[in-house]
Amino acid sequence: MITFEDVTKTYPSQLRPALSAVTVDIAEGEFVFLVGASGSGKSTFLRLVLREERPTSGRIHVAGRDLARLSSWKVPALRREMGVVFQDFRLLPNKTVAQNVAFALEVIGKPGHAIRELVPGVLDLVGLQGMSNRRPDELSGGEQQRVAIARAFANRPALLLADEPTGNLDPATSVGIMKLLDRINRTGTTVVMATHDAAIVDSMRKRVVELEGGRVVRDQSRGVYGYTH
């Protein structure tokens, strides 16, 4: 699903590369934790997958596409194959839960009848049945993150990227979100989650890729968060 071959990314204004010589292969259907301190390169990794950034050198393949050769007008098609979830939810405050999810489908040109079928189903999946007419400010943080996950997953992407999805949530709520991500992963969707929540990583026993100063220092299946914390 995601292949990094010897990828280095140096931002224009910086001397030290944000990622250096990273080689990682993530297969379809995997659940991978990306761990490491702030500034270790986790976000850069995700931005490269999203093609928000291009690598300075090395090759990246995502969902069967060579990102170096992908022309910019095909980027939207690439992004339709993945869903993204952030620490700050990024919901539209003036739209209801259902409208927030529907918006993501409208703007990729899904027809109205398909949207009306998809939205209730995905809200059920994330456990928000009966809340479709609430607005984001009437929801708890965990519920808001569920809306964000519903929006990311509504189009049934093959890949779900999560950038610190539990960063703003208390431990009990985080467990609920992790269960949801695990359930999504079991439907066959590849999940890549950047985090520095050690308890969650330790409890899930999934593959762990640890970055430090832009390099992969550990790639362990069924790993734990690490020894430094």
Partner 1 sequence: MRAQFVLSEVGIGLRRNLTMTVAVIVAVAISVAFLGTALLFRSQVQTMKGFWYDKVEVAVFLCGPGSDATGCATGPVTQQQRDQILAELQAMPEVERVYYESQQEAFEHFSEQFADSGIVENVEPESLPESFRVKLRDPEQFRVIAAHLAGRPGVEQIQDMREVLGRIFRVLNWFTLAAAVVAVVQLVAAMLLIANVIRVAAFSRRRETGIMRLVGASRFYIQLPFLLEGALAGLIGALLAAAGVVALQRFLVEDVLRREFTFVAFVGWDEVWRTIPLMLATGVVLAALASAVTVRKYLRV
- Report the residue from 21, 75, 131, 199 that binds partner 1 according to the rule CB under 8 A: 75
By CB under 8 A, residue 158 contacts partner 1: no
By CB under 8 A, residue 78 contacts partner 1: yes
- Choices 11-19, 60-68, 84-92, 174-182; region in contact with partner 1 by CB under 8 A: 84-92
Contact, 63 vs 9, CB < 8 A? Answer: no
DSSP conformation letters of 170-183: -HHHHHHHHHHHHH
Q: How many residues bind partner 1 (CB under 8 A)?
A: 26
By CB under 8 A, residue 79 contacts partner 1: yes
Name residues whose C-beta falls within 8 Å of residue 202's C-beta, 6 or more positions apart in sequence: 224, 225
Q: Tell me the closest approach of the beta carbon of residue 104 to partner 1, in angstroms.
A: 4
Q: Of 60 and 161, which has the nearer Cβ to partner 1?
A: 161
DSSP conformation letters of 17-73: -SEEEEEEEE-TT-EEEEE-STTSSHHHHHHHHTTSS--SEEEEEETTEETTT--GG
Q: Contact letters (x/-) for partner 1, 98-127, by CB under 8 A?
A: -----xx-xxxxxxx---------------
In which residue are the tokens 């910019």 written?
A: 72
Q: Which residues bind partner 1 (CB under 8 A)?
A: 50, 72-73, 75-81, 83-84, 90, 92, 103-104, 106-112, 151-152, 155
